[in-house]
Amino acid sequence: MTDLLAGRVLTDAAAQQRLKRRHRAERRFKYYGLAAIFAALGVLAVLLVTIVGSGYSAFQQTYIQLDIELREDVIDPNGTRLDDDLRQANYAVLVREALLKIFPEASGRRDRREVSHLISSGAGIQLLNMMLKDSSLIGTTQTIWFKASADLDSFSKGQIPRDVPEDERKVSDKQIAWIDQLSEMGLVEKKFNYDFFTTADSREPEQAGILGAVVGSLLTLIVTLVLSFPIAVAAAVYLEEFAPKNKLTDFIEININNLAAVPSIVFGLLGLAVFLNYFELPRSAPLVGGMVLALMTLPTIIIASRAALKAVPPSIREAAMGMGASPVQMVMHHVLPLAMPGILTGTIIGMAQALGETAPLLMIGMVAFIVDVPGSFTDASTVLPVQVFLWADAPERGFVERTSAAIMVLLAFLIAMNILAVLLRRRFERRW
């Protein structure tokens, strides 16, 4: 019977057709799946390539070398050498003089202005700081590297093309001629942009750095960690080890699950209404930001900690109890230490989430323009993702590459944290 049937199926042409069609459909279906995966991976690749491609140039900065005559009659006409007097002086004049010495043809008012726009407006501060450090330099002539202004920097990195009409680009023909002349003289150089990592925000792209945001992020994360880790572990221990099965416990569990899915911006509204308006804590402070993020990351850490506690086998508990330990001793001395690697992994992942979070911090005013590196938990500050948001909004050309560079730094931190979590899991993971 089966032989007969099999023979008929194999010989029937229509059946073979049908089989072929079904196999084609099978292959198609499989390729849809593969295509979906590679579409997602492709987008990820495009995203990363775009960010790196537009951001790597921010790690270099164009510098221009000038011989500055540190004239005493400009810097310190009274000869006092007091810091207050040195601060009064107009150092920009000295920079312009040095430039005009190289380009004597720039004589008109407009030309002179364009000449001084070759150099960053931070050059004066740079000279002032030199003078404050060593006032004996006054009266001498020094060879100093200055940052080029942001537009010139973009131009020399090729981001502003030469061949567009002059009125459509930010660099004038004359400035191009000057910068060409300077590079022929060997006075223009691209150097690694250390300042990007050692300064805080600025209105001028070439002077803006991420240190302020990194320190702000660090302070905020410290607050988040100090608040959320103990509370989350305590809550997880209670729910997993001690909680009786009753309405209250159920209610707590439902709450935790729902909090994990509440939009982050709602936590920002909570912070604004409760921490800022009711408790009158300072606006824009890492303290408040950390508190809001702690509430936000609590569910993540609680859920991960409970999974880690659940993974500790009951035999450990029974052995401890058998030796006469009280339930609290059993948990504190045996279960919790064994679950700690898993708990720490969950905590790091929660911290990585908190590090990348922006929206709730906008609500509590961490979106301000801050030029100082924050020094304490109550100083006004910003954080890395908010810095990205601020720079992405800035109209200057030079901020585009800095935004991407800040994103690269942010992603580097996140990758480092995730690798740490993976290593921790690998190193301490135990199969019972």
Site residues (CB under 8 A) for another protein, limited to 11-40: 22-23, 25-26, 28-30, 32-37, 39-40
Asked whether 54 and 406 are in contact (CB, 8 A), the reply is no
CB nearer to another protein: pick between 153 and 401: 401
User: How many Å apart are CA 393 and CA 389, to the nearest integer?
Assistant: 6
Query: What SS3 class is residue 378?
Result: coil
Count of residues near another protein by CB under 8 A: 86
Burial state string for 51-61 with b = 16 or more CB within 10 A and e = fewer than 16: beebbebbbbb
226 binds another protein (CB under 8 A): no
Answer for which of 129, 143, 255, 315 binds another protein (CB under 8 A) is 255
C-alpha dihedral (388, 390, 396, 400), degrees to nearest 10: 10
CB nearer to another protein: pick between 124 and 398: 398
Q: How far is the CB of 285 from another protein (least distance, A)?
A: 13
Give the chain's end-to-end CA distance (angstroms, integer).
53
Backbone angles phi, psi at 143, to 5 degrees: -95, 120
Answer for which of 64, 339, 400, 405 binds another protein (CB under 8 A) is 400
Strand intervals (E) in 22-178: 60-69, 141-147
CB nearer to another protein: pick between 219 and 272: 272
407 binds another protein (CB under 8 A): yes
Stretch touching another protein by CB under 8 A, among 83-91, 114-122, 152-160, 230-238: 230-238
Classify the C-alpha dihedral 86-88-90-91 as positive or negative.
positive
- Angle subtended at Cα 297 by Cα 407 and Cα 234, rounded to the nearest 5 degrees: 145
Asked whether 286 and 216 are in contact (CB, 8 A), the reply is yes
The footprint of another protein on residues 263-292 (CB under 8 A) is 263-267, 269-270, 272-274, 278-280
Q: How far is the CB of 228 from another protein (least distance, A)?
A: 10
Q: How far is the CB of 183 from another protein (least distance, A)?
A: 30
* Two structure tokens written together for 292: 């809001």
Query: What SS3 class is residue 161?
Result: coil
Q: How far is the CB of 409 from another protein (least distance, A)?
A: 12
Stretch touching another protein by CB under 8 A, among 73-81, 139-147, 159-167, 229-237: 229-237
Strands 60-69 and 188-192: antiparallel
The footprint of another protein on residues 53-82 (CB under 8 A) is 54
User: How many Å apart are CA 260 and CA 256, to the nearest integer?
Assistant: 6
* Amino acid (one-letter) located at 300: T
User: How many Å apart are CA 398 and CA 202, to the nearest integer?
Assistant: 12
Q: How far is the CB of 117 from another protein (least distance, A)?
A: 26
Q: How far is the CB of 315 from another protein (least distance, A)?
A: 23
What is the number of other CB atoms lying within 10 angstroms of the CB of residue 247?
7
The footprint of another protein on residues 329-388 (CB under 8 A) is 332, 352, 355-359, 362-363, 367, 385-386, 388
Answer for which of 86, 160, 235, 320 binds another protein (CB under 8 A) is 235
Answer for which of 251, 313, 423, 430 binds another protein (CB under 8 A) is 251
Q: Could you tell me which residues are beta bridge partners of residue 147?
A: 63
Best CA proximity match to 55, nearest among 168, 157, 187: 157
Asked whether 160 and 171 are in contact (CB, 8 A), the reply is yes
Q: How far is the CB of 243 from another protein (least distance, A)?
A: 7
CB nearer to another protein: pick between 17 and 50: 50
Which DSSP category does 134 fall into? -
Q: How far is the CB of 74 from another protein (least distance, A)?
A: 34
The footprint of another protein on residues 291-330 (CB under 8 A) is 295, 298-299, 302, 326-328
Q: Which single residue is written with the structure tokens 């002086």? A: 89
CB nearer to another protein: pick between 30 and 162: 30
132 binds another protein (CB under 8 A): no
Q: How far is the CB of 236 from another protein (least distance, A)?
A: 8
389 binds another protein (CB under 8 A): yes
The footprint of another protein on residues 190-219 (CB under 8 A) is none
Answer for which of 6, 10, 15, 47 binds another protein (CB under 8 A) is 47
CB nearer to another protein: pick between 67 and 250: 250
